[in-house]
Amino acid sequence: MLVMVSRLLSSKLDISELLTTIMRLASRVVGAERASLYLLDEKTQELYFDVALGLPEDVQKMRFKLGEGIAGSCAKEGRSIIINDTAADPRHSKKADAKSGFITRSLLTCPMIIKGKVIGVVQAVNRIDGDFADSDKTAFEAFASQAAIAIENSRLFSSVKEEKRKMEIVFKRIKEGAILTTLEGEILIINNSAKIYLEHDKYKFTNIRGAFQDFEAKPGLDEILDGEALIKRFDLYREKPKKFFLDGSAIKLLKEDKDGNQVAEGRLWILSDVTAQRMEERMARNFLSLISHKFKTPLACINGYAQILRDESSAKGMPDIVQKSSATIYGQGQKLTGLVESLLDFVTIDNLEAPTLEKINFDAAEFLNEIAESARSGFGENSGITIKVAAPEPVKVCADRKVLAAALRALIDNAVKFNPGKDKLVILSAQTRDNFALLSVGDNGPGIPGEELDNIFNKFYQVEASFTGQVDGWGLGLSLVRKIAEVHGGRVFAKSQLQKGSAFTLTLPC
C-alpha cells in the first residue's frame, strides 16, 4: 500500500488534486472510515481544513489554534497521537462533531513535517475493524511523511509556475526587447518586442548567436559573451531595408553557490529602439558641422578687419566711442570664433571611434605637467590662476595623447570659467586603482548641486546662470569629455561639495 501511495503522490503536482488524493488514500492505509487533512496557516498559527471529504461546508471553514483539540495538540507537539475512545479524552474538541452530526469514536493523528517544521496534520477517523495500534501509527507516519514531501514539492512547483507566469507577463508587456539566455547564449524566454526587432519568425533562432544576423554589433558578440563585466553595453545597427539602431545591455544574472559565492547562471539581454534618437544626433552633427564651416570664412574677415579698425582707431587717436566700439567688435568676434571652434572640436570628437584612436603608452605625470604649463601660458601670469600637478606615484596611461589633452583642457577651462573667486586653484592629479589610470581635475570653485551631477555630462546642458554666474559656451565641454572617456573604454564622473569645489575624474584602462 505504501509503495502504491508513494507512486501516486509523486505523480501529482497540482496542489488541490494532490490533497484530494492524500485524503482518499489516508483512510485506506489504516482501514479507517474517513480522513481529514489540516494545513498550518503560518501567519495566524492556526490549523484549517484543506480537505475534509464528506464534511459540511461550515465545518470545513472551522479553524483550530495550536494546542486546541487533538489536531492542534499534534501540531504543537510535533508527534503522533492515538485515541481509541475520544469520549474519555478531554483533548478531543467536539466542535466539528456538533456541526457535522458525525460521531468520532477513535482517532489516529500524525503531523506532516518538512525539515523539522510542521506544515499540517493528517488524521484517520474511526478504525473500521478494532482499535488503532502502534503498527497503524508506524504505517500512518510513513504515509504522513510521504504526503508532506508531496505537498512541499507541489508548493514549490506552484511557486515556480507563478514566478514564471509573472516573468512572462513582464516580458510581454515591456516595450523594450527582452531575452533571457543561459551563459552560453541558449534562449530561454524571448518577448514579442525582441521577436519583432530581430525577425524571429524569419530566422527561428534558438541561440543569441543567431539573433543578430542582419546587424552590425559593437562590440562584437564574442567579446560580450566572453567578457567578465556584469553589465555590458553594446550597439546594433542595420542598414537595410531601412536604417535601424538598437541600444543593448547584456546583464549577467547571479546566484549564490553552496559556499556563498556569487556565480553567473545566465544573461538578460535588453534591447531599446533608439533609431529616432540616433538619426536626430546624426542630423544635429551634420548641421553643426555645416554651420561651423560656413561661419569660419566670414568670421575670419570680420575679425581681420575688426583688428585693423581697433589698431588704427587707437593709433590715430580717434574719439573714444570709435575706439571702444572697434575694440568691442573685435572682442566679440574673437568670442564667436572660439564658440565656432569649440563646435568643430565637438563634431570631430563626437564622430570618434575606438579603432581610429592613435593610442600610445606614456607617463601621466609628464603629460599633466605639459598640460598645466600650456594652460598657465594661455591664462597669463597675472590671471590669479594657480595650476598644480599631484602625481605621487608612477602612472602609465595608454591613450590617444592629443585627444586626451583636449578632454583635460576642457575640464581646466570649466574649472576656471565657472569659478567666480579671485584666487582660482586647479589641481591635476593621477593615480592607479584596480588596473585603471585615474586622471583628475579638481578646483576650489562654488561646487555643483548634487541633483545636477547626473545631468552635467549631457549635450547642451548647463547649470543655470543664477548659480554659475554666466553661461558662456554651448554646454558641450563635459559631453566632449565623456565621449573621449567612453571611446577609450573608460568613463568620467564628478564629485563635488558646495562652496568647496569639484573634482572631475577620467578612468582609463591601463
CA distances (Å), 165 to each of 81, 169, 175, 360, in order?
41, 6, 18, 53
Q: What pLDDT does 369 receive? A: 92
Q: Quick one: pLDDT at residue 30?
A: 85
Average pLDDT, integer, range 256-273: 88
pLDDT greater than 60 at residue 471:
no
From the list 501, 373, 331, 483, the residue with the least C-alpha distance to 425 is 501
Residue 339 has pLDDT above 80, yes or no: no
CA distance to 87, 194, 409, per residue, from 403 (Å): 94, 37, 10
Residue 93 DSSP one-character state:
-
Of the listed ranges 131-135, 157-161, 449-453, the one predicted with least confidence: 449-453
Q: 362 pLDDT exceeds 60? A: yes
pLDDT tens-place string over residues 403-446: 899 889 888 988 888 888 888 899 999 998 888 889 999 998 88
Helices 134-173 and 15-30, packing angle to 10 deg = 170
CB-neighbour burial class of residue 175 (10 A; exposed 0-12, middle 13-18, buried 19+): exposed
- Under the banding of pLDDT at 50, 70 and 90, the label for residue 450 is confident
Question: Which residue, chain included where needed, has cell 534618437?
Answer: 277
pTM of this structure: 0.48
Residue 466 banded pLDDT, cuts 50, 70, 90: very low
Closest CA to 295 of 350, 347, 336: 336
The closest alpha carbon to 296, from 257, 343, 331, belongs to 343
- CB burial string 294-318: b at 16+ within 10 A, e below: ebeeebeebbeebbebbeebeeeee
Mean pLDDT of 359-375: 90
What's the whole-number average pLDDT of the chain? Answer: 83
Dihedral angle of Cα 199, 201, 202, 203, to the nearest 10 degrees: 80
Between these two residues, 269 and 26, which has the higher pLDDT value? 269
- Assign 16 a pLDDT band (cuts: 50, 70, 90): low
Residue 448: strand, helix, or coil:
coil
Angle, helix 364-379 to helix 401-417, in steps of 10 degrees = 50
Residue 307 has φ and ψ, to the nearest 5°, of -65, -40
* pLDDT above 60 (res 53): no
Q: What is the pLDDT at residue 207?
A: 94
Bridge partners of 443? Answer: 426
